[in-house]
Amino acid sequence: MHRPLRKTSLLLLLAVILVLATVSSAIIPEARFAARAVLLNQAIWIYGGVTDTHDKPQNLLWRLDVSVGWDTSNTPYINYTDGRAPAPVTEWGTLFPSADQSAFYSLDVYGPGQTFTLGKYDIANRAWLMFPTTGVTIPNAGPVAFDNKGNTWVWCGNFTETNYSKSLESQFHRNTRISHRESVAVSYES
């Protein structure tokens, strides 16, 4: 009498294990191009990009913990995409960390009227703060470098097949107070 119950329990357990294995193996970011990444406190944050499914910039945010080892066939990605709050919809931009490593910034020029979008993602609150940038145009953002004094350098430039513009270096100082009443401290160096 107990054997049919045991067999049913084992089949149910097997079904649950298969479902969990399928779900855990399915939690990986969709393939994309034009995404960017930043390393913060033992985690790689991957943001934005264009997927084959949508063929336009996406505001997808993923986290990959690099403090522990993992198998490349089952990487421990965590999806932080919210979908409820404003976030920069962006491609080909750059990410750089806040001075205290509690947040990161996203910079891109795919805003309305080719103005740049600047957002800050607060890791603890899991929320974006968007900074107003209307009317300010900069070249496409590219690679970024930063130092331990709070300075960030973003190499920029854009080109077409017939007209190449020279690359510009934009310097953003992360320790500058940014609010809706103050402009972002930006300087250009050729």
pLDDT at 103: 92
Does residue 62 fall inside a structural domain? yes
User: pLDDT (tens digit, 9 = 90+) per residue, 157-178?
Assistant: 554 444 444 443 444 444 333 3
Number of domains in the chain: 1
The predicted pLDDT at position 87 comes to: 75
Domain that includes residue 103, residue range: 30-189
Residue 109 within a domain: yes
- Is 136 inside any structural domain? yes
Give the pLDDT confidence score for residue 164 in this predicted structure.
Answer: 40
Three-class DSSP category at 90:
coil
Phi, psi of 84 (to 5 degrees): -100, -30
In a domain, residue 108? The reply is yes
6 falls within a domain: no
* Conformation bin of residue 34: beta by default, left when phi > 0, alpha when psi is -120 to 50: left
- Is 43 inside any structural domain? yes
- Which parts of the chain register pLDDT below 50? 19, 21-26, 159-190
**Is 132 inside any structural domain?**
yes
Is position 16 within any domain?
A: no
Distances (CA, A) of 121 to 48, 90, 101, 126: 13, 14, 11, 7
Q: How far apart are CA 16 and CA 141, in angstroms?
A: 46
Residue 187: name the closest of 176, 165, 92, 158 by CA.
Answer: 176
110 by Cβ neighbours in 10 Å (0-12 / 13-18 / 19+) ranks as buried
- pLDDT in the model for residue 121: 92
Query: What CATH number does residue 109 fall under?
Result: 2.120.10.80
Q: How many helices (H) and strands (E) does the chain have?
A: 1, 14
